[in-house]
């Protein structure tokens, strides 16, 4: 049931994102210097090529960064526990290849530094910032289309509301922003375009179809694959790249969340692979450890194929227009376009999430949003398939 090409390994499976008609959208341990030798960095030749192209890094810089990001991911959980209720957020610093953890209580700083993280003392805890964002979410059911998204930015210790370029003086936008400021520490930024959804074996990034919608596979799970909810409703029939029947949407949620899962049968099978599209080798999926803000991240989709960027923020609420709000998304600088929806976001060999939407494009530049993988697995009681 699967085509064979030189860019697929023997384990490759099919994953795709759809094309959809949408509305318009000083540390305790010193960091490694840029020229330090990298160890245990999951960097294939293709991965290094992608990071040169999309992130402007040399091969050596990319190797050092990947190794540092792996360390930061391991350190983050320990640092969060050390910070306790004083935790104000954390992020990876690509300039220094180190993890920074914000705390509101300077008395916690030494314990956090002992984990290997850099410490910054801030005014607001992550709990306070999340509460402010939740207040905005609570009244935002009719958010104006001129407001693109809002979410916590740990680096500025604020909740950032993004307003679409040229819409900041709209009456309804001004009213929304004024009310948002009452929720807590809020700042406003102007974005270029309104975000929109990017809908256009089972291998992550490969295409599938439901009706006239083309989307991309996210990740294989036991019995099927996960993808974006806006690509199809529960019960919808799914066909593969060759038009043959794969299965049906067994569960789907959009808006509010943007996730779904499809069962796989009829000669199709699942494998723990994300398609590299010839840019990189097909990537094995070995787990789902969550990367920190600031880490490099790559995505695979059936329209724009393999693209990389930086993880910009978590717990972002995105307004796709016409009342379609999606909560708790993660924002990245990797571009995406229509048809990439549902496709894989991966950091090293760790699954991160499935593509929900994007603003801009891959010609002039843009940003993307993904639905984190763990809530999808939890919601449907699924198990990620790993190598």
What does the pLDDT look like over 240-297, one tens digit per residue? 988 889 999 999 999 999 999 999 987 888 899 999 998 888 999 999 999 999 999 9
pLDDT of residue 320: 94
Verify that 234 and 377 share a domain, yes or no: yes
Per-residue confidence at 217, pLDDT binned at 50, 70, 90? very high
Indicate if 230 belongs to the active site.
Answer: yes
What is the rounded distance in angstroms from the CA atom of residue 207 to the CA atom of residue 171? 41
Verify that 80 and 139 share a domain, yes or no: no
Residue 54 has pLDDT above 90, yes or no: no
Burial per residue of 307-323, b for 16 or more beta-carbon CB atoms within 10 angstroms, e otherwise: bbbbbbbbbbbbbbbee
Count of structural domains within the chain:
3
Verify that 167 and 229 share a domain, yes or no: no
Burial per residue of 47-77, b for 16 or more beta-carbon CB atoms within 10 angstroms, e otherwise: bbebbeebbebeeebbbbbbbbbbbbbebbe
Give phi and psi for 252, each to the nearest 5.
Answer: -155, 135
pLDDT of residue 288: 97
CATH code where residue 157 lies: 3.30.300.50
pLDDT of residue 199: 57
Mean pLDDT for the chain overall? 86
Q: How does strand 158-164 pair with strand 186-191?
A: parallel
Verify that 78 and 136 share a domain, yes or no: no
pLDDT of residue 80: 97
Verify that 240 and 210 share a domain, yes or no: yes
Residue 365 has pLDDT above 50, yes or no: yes
* Structural domain of 77: 45-121
Residue 45 has pLDDT above 90, yes or no: no
Using only C-alpha atoms, the chain has a radius of gyration, in whole angstroms, of 20
pLDDT of residue 43: 63
Segment 164-183 mean pLDDT? 91
pLDDT of residue 266: 78
| The CA-based dihedral angle spanning residues 136, 143, 321, 148, taken in that order and rounded to the nearest 10 degrees | -60
Exactly one of 12, 90, 196, 230 is catalytic; which is it? 230
Segment 143-147 mean pLDDT? 88
Verify that 52 and 135 share a domain, yes or no: no
Verify that 208 and 343 share a domain, yes or no: yes
Exactly one of 86, 296, 341, 347 is catalytic; which is it? 341
Inside any domain, residue 74: yes
Verify that 187 and 198 share a domain, yes or no: no
Inside any domain, residue 40: no
Per-residue confidence at 52, pLDDT binned at 50, 70, 90? confident
Residue 131 has pLDDT above 50, yes or no: yes
Cα distances (Å, whole numbers) of residue 216 to 41, 111, 171, 262: 28, 43, 38, 12
Exactly one of 54, 258, 282, 340 is catalytic; which is it? 258
Verify that 112 and 160 share a domain, yes or no: no
């Amino acid at each position: 049931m699967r085509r064979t090409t030189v860019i697929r390994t023997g384990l490759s499976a099919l994953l795709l994102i759809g094309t959809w008609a949408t509305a318009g959208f000083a540390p305790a341990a010193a960091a490694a210097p840029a020229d330090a030798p990298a160890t245990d960095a999951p960097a294939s030749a293709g991965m290094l090529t992608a990071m040169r192209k999309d992130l402007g890094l040399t091969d050596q810089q990319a190797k050092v960064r990947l190794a540092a990001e792996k360390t930061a991911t391991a350190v983050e959980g320990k640092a969060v526990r050390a910070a306790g209720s004083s935790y104000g957020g954390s992020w990876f610093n690509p300039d220094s290849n180190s993890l920074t953890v914000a705390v509101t209580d300077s008395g916690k700083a030494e314990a956090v530094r002992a984990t290997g993280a850099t410490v910054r003392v801030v005014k607001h805890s992550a709990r306070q910032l999340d509460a402010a964002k939740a207040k905005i979410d609570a009244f935002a059911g009719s958010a104006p289309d001129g407001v693109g998204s809002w979410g916590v930015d740990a680096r500025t210790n604020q909740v950032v509301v993004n307003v679409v370029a040229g819409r900041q003086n709209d009456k309804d936008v001004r009213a929304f922003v004024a009310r948002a400021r009452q929720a807590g520490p809020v700042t406003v930024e102007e974005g270029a375009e309104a975000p929109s959804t990017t809908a256009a074996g089972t291998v992550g990034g490969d295409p599938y179809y439901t009706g006239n919608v083309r989307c991309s596979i996210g990740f294989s799970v036991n019995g099927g694959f996960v993808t974006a909810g806006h690509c199809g409703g529960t019960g919808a029939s799914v066909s593969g790249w060759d038009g043959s029947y794969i299965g049906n949407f067994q569960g789907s949620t959009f808006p509010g969340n943007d996730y779904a899962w499809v069962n796989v049968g009829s000669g199709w099978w699942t494998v723990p692979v994300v398609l590299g599209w010839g840019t990189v080798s097909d990537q094995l999926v070995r787990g789902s450890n969550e990367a920190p803000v600031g880490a490099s991240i790559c995505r695979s989709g059936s329209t724009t194929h393999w693209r990389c960027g930086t993880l910009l923020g978590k717990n972002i609420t995105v307004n796709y227009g016409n009342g379609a709000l999606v909560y708790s998304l993660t924002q990245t600088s990797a571009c995406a376009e229509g048809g990439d929806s549902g496709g894989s976001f991966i950091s090293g060999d760790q699954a991160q999430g499935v593509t929900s939407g994007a603003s801009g494009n891959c010609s002039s530049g843009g940003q993307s949003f993904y639905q984190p993988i763990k809530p999808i697995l939890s919601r449907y009681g699924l198990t990620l398939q790993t190598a």
